[in-house]
A and B are shown apart, each in its own frame.
Chain A
């Protein structure tokens, strides 16, 4: 017991006390509504957590009591049993027992001499309706799996005999237990040494400090106008105190993720010993700061993931050696800020997840249909481990595998607006990637100006700053097909003009005498952002944008600057995507990608290849195509001379592309191939002979058009292909005004 890490135990106690209070309330409510599955699931999870943690801490008694309790709860949750007063009573006795053990740990640093054999027996007996029917039988015999292990040194006389209440009288029972607990804590228990403050209150404090900062700034502005030295001194003090207050209030919310991680080496060690495995844990980025609320919320999910990795992921040393891996498994945890989010990765080099096994299991559990099982890809299948009620462990072990773990992980992460994703290679390992927003997190940022407005760039994306003066400003930037690039130490750095990318009209068209470039990296790509000026670095508080602006990928949020004005925070990843520095085709090598992306004008794009009028090949950018459809020839109707077809409850006018491009009439085919094009909410169908292919490549050897309806021609797939001017064709055909026009003519 002495070696027990005190911090872990204290944390456990504080948390468990809170959970137990909640449990009491839940049970009382559950009695009124015994069918409430959600409530049952919550109670189950609480007990599951206590059991899990007590296991790591070597609290044998507590673990045994909660283990049988959990089994009973799991049957209730699955609907195999119905809650009745007897079960409730026994479960409440279990809660009291847990409370008793916890207070004993808190006061005496051990689990106390309580004997819970009969409680365990009762809990076990109730799990089996048959055994219950024969309730007169001696219950102890029914608990062979757990009972023998109970407290070999137990001195039964010490324990208060569990009251054999059969009528539900929960209140007096646990009230008494609480009293004893309180009596023991009369000194100063760990749960009293810190206070919990409502996060709402911290938010309010933060806002008030924000106001104070603004008032302070205004006062400071007056100071410069005033000559009174006393006033200056006073406002200086106000200044210092405000800054310190601001810092302290912010600190109340921020914690390095290492605070939570520091417990994992122990957890992993204990767990691996228990499972007979060798696991080494490595960490990176412990200092990454996360808002307190978020840290709290990810603590349990992270623990679950780590436990899963050791319990299910990493194989036993023998298996590993046989598979040609080092006997010692590696668990790697990494945290970092990226693109306005905190990323946490938990990587193991274990067995990975066998998609076939998951598929079979999900099918057996009825989570997916047979049709889905065959249709879903491996990645989607692997992500099924997050489905409620899923567990891949063949047998229920003491550690994990009751089908709560990953379900809880996802629920908790999504609750705080994060995402969790799992990648696994069968035989090679599993990576769990958790992304959480850094709402309210404080980040260092570089403040720049573009077109007169200030923007904050998260410093994590910053590589370096460049300033081109005089001659360099005129000659340093070269262009490839209009796309600016800069030679940075021999490599071409694609440049993105921030003001232009954000579509802010700027007045200065002439040559600037100096050019400021912020070199940024996003997803391993480096690019330069041209800004008007570079101001300073500041610690900023990230605030989310309102719903009206949620769709803007270029901004990660907003912040209030020192002078009280609002500045937008750039989402470097979003900017990179928008400017096509990062394109869909990612697998090309870095050098190639940089060249290609710097020629954005001619970058590879997905093209739809159509056969129109005999051998003619026509290409249209896939991005302009709404849908591809087939209609039976009989479905085509006419209004006046306009061919139309009923499509999604509307009338879709059809344009014969061959006729429109004067390539003869389309060969009659059935079904008719139609490319649906939508503009301003109006759809038009283009009738083509054949839909040939979808290709993604750069159009080579472009030539300008020599007739209407075409943008030009180029080489695609080694063949000369005409590039369709889809807008021009639709406008020329004028299908919206067709009816009147044609009938008039």
Chain B
């Protein structure tokens, strides 16, 4: 019998991404942010999550995708990392899906660019592919990415 995993899913541009539910602290709507001058461009700002200061990273920028239209407000997927909670800004929130490990494959070698680093596994769903995000890598911003 094969095991299965639950993923919290979301959309960034045309990527259908997922994070293991255990790693997600919470999902919240857009929050006012305090911008951080001189920070890496991925860092969109700091949000106050009930007294906890959380860094918000834009997954679009992390993936090197074009910015979303200004009127589209991102959602916060707050994930737990070694360094405390970090919020990932995404376009839309999807359902929690349960998928069998049978459907899992490694990303193809033809995948290049930042996505190569950030996508850990690919799950073949009926309709589309679910890309599993490596949250540790996603929340780690390289020094080179600084403005």
**A residues lining the B interface (CB < 8 Å):** 206-211, 213-214, 453, 502-504, 543, 545-549, 551-552, 554-555, 558-560, 564-568
Within the complex, what minimum Cβ distance (angstroms) separates A700 from chain B?
32
Starting from the known contacts A565-B48, A566-B53, 11 additional A-B residue pairs (CB-CB under 8 Å) come to: A207-B50, A208-B51, A214-B51, A546-B54, A548-B57, A548-B140, A554-B37, A558-B34, A566-B45, A566-B48, A568-B46
A584 to B61, CA, bound (A): 36
Within the complex, what minimum Cβ distance (angstroms) separates B73 from chain A?
17
A554 to B38, CA, bound (A): 9
A213 to B141, CA, bound (A): 32
Taking A453-B34, A546-B83, A566-B46 as contacts, is the C-beta distance between A551 and B146 under 8 angstroms? yes
Closest to B37 in A: A502
Q: Is the CB of B51 within 8 A of A207?
A: yes
| A503 partner residues in chain B, CB cutoff 8 A | 37-38, 147
Closest 3 interchain pairs by CB? Answer: A210-B51, A502-B37, A546-B55
Residues of chain B in range 74-104 having any CB-CB distance to chain A below 8 Å = 83-84, 86
User: A549's contact among B47, B50, B52, B55, by CB below 8 Å, is which?
Assistant: B55
Closest to B46 in A: A566
| A551 partner residues in chain B, CB cutoff 8 A | 143, 146
A58 to B77, CA, bound (A): 60
User: B50's contact among A214, A453, A504, A567, by CB below 8 Å, is which?
Assistant: A214
Residues of chain B in range 16-45 having any CB-CB distance to chain A below 8 Å = 32-40, 42-43, 45
| B84 partner residues in chain A, CB cutoff 8 A | 546
| A453 partner residues in chain B, CB cutoff 8 A | 34-35
A546 to B54, CA, bound (A): 7
| B86 partner residues in chain A, CB cutoff 8 A | 546, 548
Within the complex, what minimum Cβ distance (angstroms) separates B39 from chain A?
6
A549 to B34, CA, bound (A): 13
| B39 partner residues in chain A, CB cutoff 8 A | 548-549, 552
| A211 partner residues in chain B, CB cutoff 8 A | 50-51
Q: Is the CB of A560 within 8 A of B48?
A: yes
| A549 partner residues in chain B, CB cutoff 8 A | 36, 39, 43, 55
Prevailing SS type, chain A contact patch: mixed
Q: Is the CB of B48 within 8 A of A555?
A: no
A565 to B141, CA, bound (A): 24
Q: Please tell me the size bucket of the interface on B.
A: 20 to 34
A372 to B54, CA, bound (A): 45
**B residues lining the A interface (CB < 8 Å):** 32-40, 42-43, 45-48, 50-55, 57, 83-84, 86, 139-141, 143, 146-147
User: B38's contact among A207, A208, A502, by CB below 8 Å, is which?
Assistant: A502
Q: Is the CB of B141 within 8 A of A548?
A: yes
What are 26 sample pairs from A and B whose C-beta atoms fall under 8 A apart? A206-B51, A207-B51, A210-B50, A502-B38, A503-B38, A503-B147, A504-B37, A545-B53, A546-B54, A546-B83, A546-B86, A547-B83, A547-B140, A548-B55, A548-B141, A551-B143, A551-B146, A552-B38, A552-B39, A555-B36, A559-B53, A560-B51, A560-B53, A565-B34, A566-B47, A568-B34
Within the complex, what minimum Cβ distance (angstroms) separates A152 from chain B?
59
| B33 partner residues in chain A, CB cutoff 8 A | 566
Taking A207-B51, A210-B50, A560-B51 as contacts, is the C-beta distance between A548 and B139 under 8 angstroms? yes
| A543 partner residues in chain B, CB cutoff 8 A | 53
A547 to B57, CA, bound (A): 12
| B52 partner residues in chain A, CB cutoff 8 A | 207
A567 to B46, CA, bound (A): 8
A290 to B26, CA, bound (A): 33
Closest to B146 in A: A551
A554 to B147, CA, bound (A): 14
| A546 partner residues in chain B, CB cutoff 8 A | 53-55, 83-84, 86
A213 to B86, CA, bound (A): 23
